[in-house]
Structure 1
């Protein structure tokens, strides 16, 4: 048996070819210009097949509306700090189709990884990302709260007559750290495509780590090296 020929053109090309033929272009020329088979154009022009977007494969288990709702749900949870994993989404779909006994090709009404990958392709707003864990405390930090914190710091230094710290080069440091986190990564989650930072709020201390902290001192004097406290017996 010969292999089935798969469409090699996009729906946009077909629409452009049909519009050109309605404006007087010949079928042969439209086929050549827009790279759409001549037989396909003839069938559409003479209404032998409906002039509707083509669809390959069986019908989807979920409707387009249901998939759109799921997509918005995934995006909303990711923005709130609770991104879904693959299994979370598959379990949700399982519940949807089990509640109304919807016909489906899945084992025990639960889709697999193949359906999951197809879902991501059908909904390009979503992508798989590896999130950064943050605690509830860090998640509560807002853009408005940071200037407020610095303003309170300045006021505190003024209250204790130590505001000169802010203008004394001997007391100006800049540091950066590289950490080896003890809190394990959570694996890939579903998030909005193009979303710069994806976080997952965790119960543990997400900052517990072995850390290398490098300081730059404005007066070029090497600062002290600090290590973890250890009681010597």
Structure 2
């Protein structure tokens, strides 16, 4: 999970504290992991320990445009972006089932990311 957070931050999509806790909780539920966490939701103590163990800190994020300028203009990044979904569509046999493929837009992305801190 720590590696995943590092990769997301590197490519300009860092997660907030709340998103990290939600992701961990979902991972616990989907994998049937037995924990002592109340309702399988990590709390503040768990989060502080996780940050300490993996040398993460909470910082105000960079604006999205800065991150996009760095990576989005790289042709290898752009090609890889399209290669990954194409491979998944093939692996999941969805080429003949376009009604089972969903799109995500940027509607729920915060336009002012400096209002919350992210894990870096």
Give the TM-score band, short-chain normalised: 0.5 to 0.7
- 1:183–1:91: structure 2 CA closer, same or farther, 3 Å change rule? closer
Determine the structure 2 residue equivalent to 1:83: 14
1:129 paired with 2:59, answer: yes
> Matched residue of 2:46: which SS?
helix
Where structure 2 has 5 or more consecutive residues not aligned to the other structure, the ranges are 75-110
- 1:132–1:108: structure 2 CA closer, same or farther, 3 Å change rule? same
State the distance in 2 between where 1:184 and 1:119 align. Answer: 23
1:190 paired with 2:119, answer: yes
TM-score normalised to structure 1 length: 0.32
State the distance in 2 between where 1:105 and 1:93 align. Answer: 14
> Matched residue of 1:111: which SS?
coil
Deviations 1:117-146 (A, max 9, x none): 01111112x22111121338x72357x99x
State the distance in 2 between where 1:95 and 1:118 align. Answer: 19
- 1:184–1:127: structure 2 CA closer, same or farther, 3 Å change rule? closer
Higher relative contact order (CA 8 A, sep 6+): 2
- 1:102–1:188: structure 2 CA closer, same or farther, 3 Å change rule? same
TM-score normalised to structure 2 length: 0.58
State the distance in 2 between where 1:184 and 1:95 align. Answer: 24
After superposition, residues 1-233 of structure 1 pair within 5 angstroms as 70-124=1-55, 126-135=56-65, 139-141=68-70, 183=112, 185-191=114-120
Computing the radius of gyration from Cα coordinates, the structure with the larger value is: 1
Where structure 1 has 5 or more consecutive residues not aligned to the other structure, the ranges are 1-69, 146-181, 192-233
State the distance in 2 between where 1:128 and 1:188 align. Answer: 6
Which of the two has greater helix per residue? 2
Which of the two has greater strand per residue? 1
Cα deviation, residue 95, structure 1: 1.2
- 1:130–1:183: structure 2 CA closer, same or farther, 3 Å change rule? closer
Q: Please tell me the root mean square deviation across aligned C-alpha atoms, in Å.
A: 2.7
